[in-house]
Amino acid sequence: MKNKIHLHRLKRPCLTFGLFAVLAMFSLSFGCNKSEDTGKKKPQEVPPVPVTVAKAVSQNIPWIFDTYGTVEAFSSVNITSLVGGKVIKIGFVPGQKIRKGDILARIDSRPYEANLKQIEANMERDTVLLADAERQTRVKDELFKKNIVSEDEMFKTKAISESLKRAVKIDEANIDKANLDVEYCTIKTPFDGRVGDILIHEGAIIKINDDIIASISMTSPAYVAFSLPERLLPVVQRLIADGRKIEVVACIESSKGKIPNKGELCFIDNAVNQNSGTVRMKALFQNADESLWPGQFVDVSIELSADEIYIAVPSDAVQNGQLGTQVFVVKNDSTVELRQVEVERTNAGLSAISKGVQADETVVLTGQFRLVPGAKVAVSSAGSEKKTEPVPDKK
pLDDT (tens, 9 = 90+) of the chain, 395 residues, equals 444 444 344 444 444 444 444 444 444 444 444 444 555 555 567 788 898 999 999 888 878 889 999 999 999 999 999 999 999 999 999 999 999 999 999 999 999 999 999 999 999 999 999 998 889 888 888 888 888 878 888 888 889 889 999 999 999 999 999 999 999 999 999 999 999 999 999 999 999 988 899 999 999 999 999 999 999 999 899 899 988 899 999 999 887 788 899 999 999 999 999 999 999 999 999 999 999 999 999 999 998 876 778 889 998 989 998 888 999 999 989 899 999 999 888 887 888 898 889 888 999 998 888 888 988 988 875 445 556 666 555 54
pTM (two decimals): 0.66
Q: How far is residue 132 from each of residues 135, 139, 164, 187, measured CA to CA in Å? A: 5, 11, 10, 42
Reduced to 3 states (helix: H, G, I; strand: E, B; else coil), residue 15 is helix
Q: How far is residue 324 from each of residues 85, 98, 113, 318, 338, measured CA to CA in Å? A: 76, 60, 84, 10, 12
- Contact by Cβ (8 Å): 193, 73: yes
- Tabulate helix, strand, coil % of the chain (nearest 5): 30, 35, 30
Integer Cα distance of 53 and 380 in angstroms:
9
Reduced to 3 states (helix: H, G, I; strand: E, B; else coil), residue 229 is strand
List, in order, residues 6 or more apart from 96 with CB less than 8 Å away. Answer: 194, 195
Integer Cα distance of 171 and 126 in angstroms:
8
Name the pairing type of β-strands 336-340 and 324-330: antiparallel
List, in order, residues 6 or more apart from 174 with CB less than 8 Å away. Answer: 119, 122, 123
pLDDT at residue 393 in the model: 53
